[in-house]
A = this chain, B = another copy of it.
């Protein structure tokens, strides 16, 4: 599907600054925009990111300094961009798929699909895959080779899996992100038009949930291993070869580098960035970015050395309080003595 920029401008009722004849092949957020795609500018801080991207056009509220990038000016960029994303990746979850394998699905003959699984329209499943009982693969999902989907896994529409991905029972990929805006006292869901992209050699534990991106992907990098009951929020970009232990919760739009380790029950605030080889200790709550090559502990998390010292003192707090009280009494006594000495001296 392609649109001319002039058509896009019409669809979103915008003012075009740029070449009306340019052909647009897709709509994606700045981090993911490919050549010949249109993207979204909703934050001045992202101007450079967009210039560096391959995007040929942008939806924006005000004209910005974006050399070589056409601009479609609109009053509500998010609602306009959501329209374009929906044009290029149309909503399909209301196409309730029929039982068994849809006629338009392409299943490699070496793949095995259990008869109780549901494979919806337009799905592609590669060689050697095994799809266990009760699995639901919604429309337009693409699955590489040698993947295993254990019982009861759900892939929402447009989910992409690389090769040799293993997903354990009950995991859910692609549910809507938890994003709302308040309007007249009610929470209205914001657009949740993206998808989940899992790269090759990833393993995902039982009942783990990974939400779709807002406009583009929530991505799990190659070789990353995810334990049971992990929650990964919308738009997260998880790096390669991470180890994410059970019951970790990662809020929306977080990014991790490569070889990051998150121990059990760790929580990450939204929009956190953890650099390569960051290690986060069990139950820690990460509230700030980390450059990497560090161990973080505690809630709120700080680096290990600092936190170990803090924890060591915490254990001795009752003793410390007693010491302080004792010292206060001592100083009071000395004040008394000093007073007497002073008086004595004056008397002398």
Q: Which residues of A contact B (CB under 8 A)?
A: 94, 96-99, 112, 114-116, 118, 130, 132-134, 136, 138, 150-152, 154, 156, 168-170, 172, 175-176, 178, 180, 185-187, 189, 201, 203, 205-207, 209, 211, 223, 225, 227-229, 231, 233, 241, 243, 245-247, 249, 251, 264-265, 267, 269, 282-283, 285, 299-300, 302, 306, 309-318, 320-321, 323-324, 327-328, 330-331, 334-335, 337-338, 341-342, 344-345, 348
Contact = CB atoms under 8 A, between A and B. Distances in A.
Given A132-B96, A152-B152, A285-B283, A246 B233 contact: yes
Given A114-B96, A269-B282, A334-B335, A150 B175 contact: yes
The list of the 8 closest CB pairs from A to B, nearest first, reads A154-B169, A172-B206, A136-B151, A313-B317, A175-B206, A309-B318, A178-B227, A118-B133
Given A309-B318, A341-B338, A246 B225 contact: no
B282 A180 contact: no
Contact of A241 (B97, B185, B209): B185
Contact of A112 (B96, B227, B229): B96
B264 A283 contact: no
26 contacts: A96-B114, A116-B116, A118-B151, A134-B134, A134-B136, A136-B152, A150-B175, A152-B170, A154-B169, A168-B172, A172-B228, A175-B205, A175-B206, A178-B225, A178-B245, A180-B243, A185-B241, A187-B243, A227-B231, A246-B251, A306-B318, A309-B317, A314-B317, A316-B321, A320-B321, A334-B334
